[in-house]
């Protein structure tokens, strides 16, 4: 009985997303879950479509048809979504209420969007580039609190 319980616990743990450590990797449009621990995904930023959302920091080029990732946030509290790249990248985020948030050059040429009190739900994220079809490598991260540049 004890062995069966340990095996069931191990299988449940293996099927649970690893939130204690940042996740590296990912595919376009990947869903990343964030509770209290940071998550990260390496990705290809940019595209040929001009970001059509108006407003400060809303510049750059993305692939309109393919978000970079969807962050599923549980709980509420501060949240930072940011990208780090050797290229000039931009960030476009649609929050669970459908409001748009943008960033360009929050830390050097790296973008960040910070929510003082992020609502639970899905945050759809595009990591863009300042120039069209640049295709830069970037790491998208989300953390409770301030960016860990």
**pLDDT tens, residue order, the chain (149 aa):** 333 332 222 222 222 232 222 333 345 556 667 666 688 999 999 999 999 999 888 999 999 999 999 998 888 889 999 999 999 999 999 999 999 999 999 999 999 999 999 999 999 999 999 999 998 999 999 998 888 77
Kindly report, residue by residue over 34-51, the tens digit of the pLDDT.
Answer: 666 688 999 999 999 999
135 is written with which tokens? 């295709």
What residue spans define the domains of the chain? 21-143
Q: Domain 21-143 has what CATH class?
A: mainly beta
Q: Identify each DSSP E strand in the chain by its residue range.
A: 30-34, 39-45, 49-50, 61-62, 69-73, 77-85, 89-94, 100-104, 112-118, 121-129, 136-143
Q: How many CA atoms lie within 13 A of 139 on its CB side?
A: 15
Residue 84's pLDDT is 97
């Amino acid at each position: 009985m004890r062995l069966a319980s340990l095996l069931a616990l191990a299988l449940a743990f293996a099927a649970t997303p690893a939130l204690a450590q940042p996740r590296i990797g990912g595919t376009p449009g990947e869903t990343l879950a964030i509770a209290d621990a940071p998550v990260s995904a390496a990705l290809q930023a940019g595209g040929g479509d001009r970001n059509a959302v108006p407003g400060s920091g809303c510049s750059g080029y993305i692939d309109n048809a393919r978000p970079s990732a969807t962050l599923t946030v549980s709980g509420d509290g501060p949240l930072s979504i940011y990208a780090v790249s050797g290229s000039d990248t931009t960030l476009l985020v649609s929050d669970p209420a459908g409001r748009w948030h943008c960033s360009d050059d929050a830390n050097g040429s790296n973008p960040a969007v910070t929510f003082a009190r992020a609502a639970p739900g899905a945050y759809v994220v595009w990591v863009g580039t300042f120039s069209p079809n640049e295709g830069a490598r970037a790491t998208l991260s989300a953390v409770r609190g301030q960016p860990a540049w």
